Chains A and B, each alone.
Chain A
Amino acid sequence: MSKHKHFMALAAAAALVAGCAGGGGNVAGTPSAAELDALTQQIIQADFHDKGIVKVSEAFRDDETIRACNAADVAGKPLDAAATKRIEAANMQTIKWPANGKYLGDWKEGEKIAQSGRGMTWTDQAGAANGGNCYNCHQIDKKEISFGTIGPSLYNYGKLRGVKDPSSPAAQEMVKYTWGKIWNSKAYNACSNMPRAGHMGILNEKQVADIVALLLDPKSPVNQ
């Protein structure tokens, strides 16, 4: 980031602070929420620099989902119902369904992807296969004790949802939901902590199919 920009942000910060030190803001000596939002964005633009494969312009590009969810978190209030509905619908529109109609890939490959937390940091190489980061947050296979708890347990995911044969018509709704959730989690829960794996290009179509198989294939260790 250029020195000039950095200086501008600092000058803006100083101006805000000076302007409100006299007691003009909501809380004595504090800028308004909108001024603080603007100041934060200026500081972000000034203080981060591109590194490796990670670019500032991409990391902080404008995204209505992100903007609305961040604001809700800062305010400490959940997103209102109308905004939630709108954001979920917009994300639903981005889901790319499998071109060949094949939702289920190879669960063994899916397990490898679920184990890997690699990819898309500034120490990763461009073009290297990304992991799904799944075990970082979810229990999946009961044999793996090193799993996170940020997301719900996915052990017996298919079994608990009554999926006996993923190719049967009865299972189609759950198969589609699982694909969609991995492709773009925000289509089902606007401010979900879960990455939008397909939508953001973390996982490709084949990898998403492999994860769907891990979760729904009756032979997968998930459903034992």
Chain B
Amino acid sequence: MRMSPTLFALLGTAALAAPALAQEKTSIQAIEEYREMLQDGNPADLFDAKGEELWKKPRGPKSASLEKCDLGKGPGVVKGAFVELPRYFKDTNKVQDLESRLLTCMSTLQGIDPKEVIKGQWGRGERANTTALATWIAGQSKGMRFNLPQSTAQERTMYEVGKRLFFQRGGAHDFACASCHGEEGKRIRLQDLPLLTKAPGDGIGFAAWPAYRVSNGQMWSMQHRLNDCYRQQRFPEPDFVSDVTVALGVYLGVNAKGNKSTAPTIKR
């Protein structure tokens, strides 16, 4: 649980100023103030701009742009696509989230090898490009409400698999996603934990990513967030855009129905 020096300073001030019983409340307020301060000038804007450029620019062996990419609402339709992902795609016969769908488009339209991204590293090369693209695409649905389709057997199956993954205990600590996100009003250290078995609210949980992480100065997509959740659970690493991550995305996304997307957001 690393915190930035600024946050520590704020917490320190709060602790000194408040009587014992009010400490908890005051420190939460301090964090809220800190988050508000961060809202001015979200560095996610830089990734957003890079993503838009990457969408429109001819790239890859086929020297094509992504402007004919079908994110579920028809070729080239970006607005509103994010709040309906993951969903089933007929052409790949797969349920795909934003990033796995982007890989399909990069591969079919541009000739970019998906392995480059799947075997790649966070913040580097084509994987960094997918994060930037995801940031821009998500931003085009800002303020819209999540409404993932569950009209196909594949989507309903992935929801059920995602539910089982959510409750899957494992690793040295017997943790599951549900250990932290299975009850209302809990926190780890001072970090509030959203309950993810139901819609936790606008811009909370699934509806908050992609986000710029101040603590490590990186733009994090949902794939990256899930990856780090698994790390903290003491699990092995899930493959990038694998069915494990997509199924969890379906479970969380369907549960978030009606919540407003605020992505790209900013996080500690």
Contacts and interface: CB of A to CB of B under 8 A. Distances in A.
Contact of A202 (B23, B173, B243): B173
B165 A44 contact: yes
Interface in B231-256: 231-232, 234-239, 242-245, 247
Task: For chain A, give the interface size range.
Answer: 35 or more
Nearest to B167: A73
A75 to B, nearest CB: 9
B22 to A, nearest CB: 11
- Majority secondary structure, B binding face: mixed
A171 interface: no
A117 B23 CA distance: 22
B157 A39 contact: yes
A147 interface: yes
A54 B193 CA distance: 25
B133 interface: no
Interface stretch (B45-53, B106-114, B178-186): B178-186
A209 to B, nearest CB: 20
Given A14-B93, A146-B189, A40 B156 contact: no
A196 interface: yes
A56 B242 CA distance: 15
A48 B189 CA distance: 28
Contacts of B161: 36, 39-40, 43
B160 A66 contact: no
A58 B171 CA distance: 7
B163 interface: yes
B186 A48 contact: no
A120 B102 CA distance: 33
A21 B151 CA distance: 11
A214 interface: no
8 cross-chain pairs, A with B, having the tightest CB-CB distances, nearest first:
A29-B153, A47-B242, A73-B167, A47-B244, A195-B173, A51-B237, A40-B164, A48-B236
Interface of A: 1, 6, 9-10, 13-14, 16-17, 20-21, 27, 29-31, 36-37, 39-40, 43-44, 46-51, 54-56, 58-60, 65-66, 69-70, 73-74, 117, 120-123, 133, 135-137, 142, 145-150, 186, 193, 195-196, 200-202
Interface of B: 1, 11, 15, 20, 23-24, 27, 93, 152-154, 156-157, 160-161, 163-165, 167-176, 178-180, 182-183, 185-190, 193, 231-232, 234-239, 242-245, 247
Given A37-B164, A136-B188, 8 more contacts: A30-B153, A36-B164, A39-B157, A48-B238, A59-B234, A145-B27, A146-B190, A150-B187
13 contacts: A36-B164, A43-B165, A44-B244, A47-B244, A48-B238, A49-B237, A60-B170, A66-B170, A66-B174, A74-B163, A74-B167, A145-B23, A186-B174
